[in-house]
Structure 1
Amino acid sequence: MTIQWKGVFPAVTTKLKADGALDLDAIRQGLERLIENGVAGVVMMGMVGENAQLSPEEKLTVLRTAKETVRGRVPVISGLAETSTEKAVAYAREAEKIGVDGLMVFPGLTYKSDDAETIAFYKTVAAASRLEILLYNNPRGYGVDLRPDVVADLLAAPTIVAIKEESYDTTRVTDLISRFGDRLAVVCGVDDLIVESVALGAQAWVSGMANALPRQSVQLLDLAIAGDFAQARKLYAALTPLFHLDTVVKLVQHIKLAEHLITGSAETVKAPRLALTGAERERTIQITRQTLADLKALGYD
């Protein structure tokens, strides 16, 4: 399946049982809910999610479960987050065997590579499979910045087709689109910069909080792409307090708690993450409830 980089692509939370084991039934139910609410694709195991905490076999089980559940209705993309080029190549090949449609590839974890090393890493991973690759640019999180000059070298690899832009600098959206045009899809990777990114030309969004509110996230993106910024701003204002929680260290806990409040799914996380407690948990509960009330007042329920 050729991926059309338009629409909302939730970075799907990995549902877990109380003992930390994969909850495959909950994963299936979550995927069905996302598809029913209009998402354009699903990204399994985003890195700032729980990719690094899963065993190699758990990761492949999540991918098999996603492929069996989705049944070709939308593209299935896997996060690829490994500590060495060798492991990244092996994972890309296994993901291709399972039949996923693309890879969202992080720089090599735990090592801050320079430009030459970064380019070599990505080109080697790209050559390992025929899968489309979404570059992940999150210099705040990983210390590696895929600047436009670096991206220019990477585009020698034909399977590198998109970039999840998460530098928190919206001028990057303009710079990338102006320089690379249709050769590279620029995908918003920050929930609370989505309307700004669309105004500059982005048409796709990898979102964390879309797990909790997929339909409203799709509606927001549709309004912005259609140029109805007056309505988009109203909806965005209601959603932004919740979206802010997607940009902090404990985003996984916040997203899973919001999902729990809305759908009843478990908020279990993998150690070393711990569940939210006390005032921090109450604040997320309050923000979620207020967001739902504000959405209802606007006619989004």
Structure 2
Amino acid sequence: MAINWQGVFPAVTTKLKSDFTLDIEAIRAGLERLIANGVSGVVMMGMVGENAQLTPEEKLTVLRTAKEVIKGRVPIISGLAETNTGSAVAYAKEAEKIGIDGLMVFPGLTYKSDVRETVAFYKTVAQASSLDTLLYNNPRGYGVDLTPDVVEQLLEEPTIVAIKEESYETTRVTDLISRFDGRLAVVCGVDDLILESAALGVTAWVSGMANALPKESVNLLNLAVKGDFVSARKLYAALTPLFHLDTVVKLVQHIKLAEHIITGSAETVKPPRLDLVGEERETTIAITRKTLEDLKALGY
């Protein structure tokens, strides 16, 4: 399926049982809920999906499950997060065999590559399959920055078609759109910068907190793309305290806890992550409940 880079693409949480094994039925139910609430695609096993904590077989099981559930209704994108180029190439090939639609490619994990190494890595992975490639630019998290100059080199590969921009610099959005408009889709990767990014021309959003509030997230982006910023700002103000939790180290725990409160799904995370406890947990609960109250006041 060709990926139309417009709309909300949740970075889907990987549902787990209490023994940390995959909860397939919960994964299925979560995907059905997201589709029912109007998302434009799903990103399986990004950072929010705990990619680096899953075994190779668990990753493929998640992809097969998504393929079986979604049945072509929306595009499926898989995170690709590996420590070496050989493993990344092998994973890209396996994902293509399963029949997913695209890859969100992290830089090589555990090693801060220089520009020459970064370009070589991404080009090699892009050549390993015919799948659309979404570059993952998160220099805060991984120490590698896909600047416009680096991106220009990467666009020599035709399968590289989009970038998840998570440098936290709104000027970067303008630079990328101005330089590569029509060749590269710029996708917002920061929940609490989505309205700012949309004002600059972004029409697609890979969101963590959309797991908890998919309908509201879809409505927010739609309002912004239509140019109704008066309504969008009101909704954004209600959502932003929760969206802030997408930008911290324990984002996975916060997102799963918010999702638990709203849907009842398990908040279990895979070690070395641990579930939130004490004041930290209570703060997230309070923010989630206040967000729900504020949304209700707006008619949601």
What corresponds to 2:272 in structure 1?
Answer: 272
Contact preservation (8 Å) 1:63, 1:98:
yes
Spell out the pairing of 1:115-264 with structure 2 (5 A cutoff).
115-264=115-264
Distance 2:12 2:262 in 1: 15
What corresponds to 1:24 in structure 2?
Answer: 24
What secondary structure sits across from 2:110 in the alignment?
A: coil
Distance 1:238 1:47 in 2: 25
The alpha carbon displacement at 1:139 in A equals 0.2
Q: State the TM-score, normalized to the length of structure 2.
A: 1.00
What secondary structure sits across from 1:103 in the alignment?
A: strand
Q: What is the count of residue pairs matched by the alignment?
A: 300
CA offsets per residue over residues 142-179 of structure 1, 9 Å max, x none? 00000000000000000000000000000000000000
Distance 1:34 1:49 in 2: 15
Q: Which amino acid aligns with 2:239?
A: L
Contact preservation (8 Å) 1:47, 1:80:
no
Q: Unpaired runs of 5+ in structure 1? A: none
Instruction: Quote the sequence identity (%).
Output: 81
CA offsets per residue over residues 103-147 of structure 1, 9 Å max, x none? 000000000000010000000000000000000000000000000
CA offsets per residue over residues 47-68 of structure 1, 9 Å max, x none? 2541000000000000000000
What secondary structure sits across from 1:183 in the alignment?
A: coil
CA offsets per residue over residues 167-216 of structure 1, 9 Å max, x none? 00000000000000110000000000000000001000000000000000
The alpha carbon displacement at 1:102 in A equals 0.1
Flag as ranges the 4+ runs of structure 1 deviating above 3 A. none
Q: Which amino acid aligns with 1:231?
A: S
Spell out the pairing of 1:5-24 with structure 2 (5 A cutoff).
5-24=5-24
Q: Which amino acid aligns with 1:186?
A: V
Contact preservation (8 Å) 1:47, 1:106:
no
What corresponds to 2:106 in structure 1?
Answer: 106
In angstroms, what is the RMSD of aligned CA positions?
0.5
The alpha carbon displacement at 1:276 in A equals 0.3
Q: Unpaired runs of 5+ in structure 2? A: none
Distance 2:102 2:188 in 1: 17
CA offsets per residue over residues 216-270 of structure 1, 9 Å max, x none? 0000000000000000000000000000000000000000000000000000000
Distance 1:129 1:263 in 2: 36
Distance 2:121 2:49 in 1: 22
Distance 1:48 1:207 in 2: 9
What secondary structure sits across from 2:120 in the alignment?
A: helix
Contact preservation (8 Å) 1:43, 1:78:
yes
What secondary structure sits across from 1:77 in the alignment?
A: strand
Distance 2:181 2:65 in 1: 35
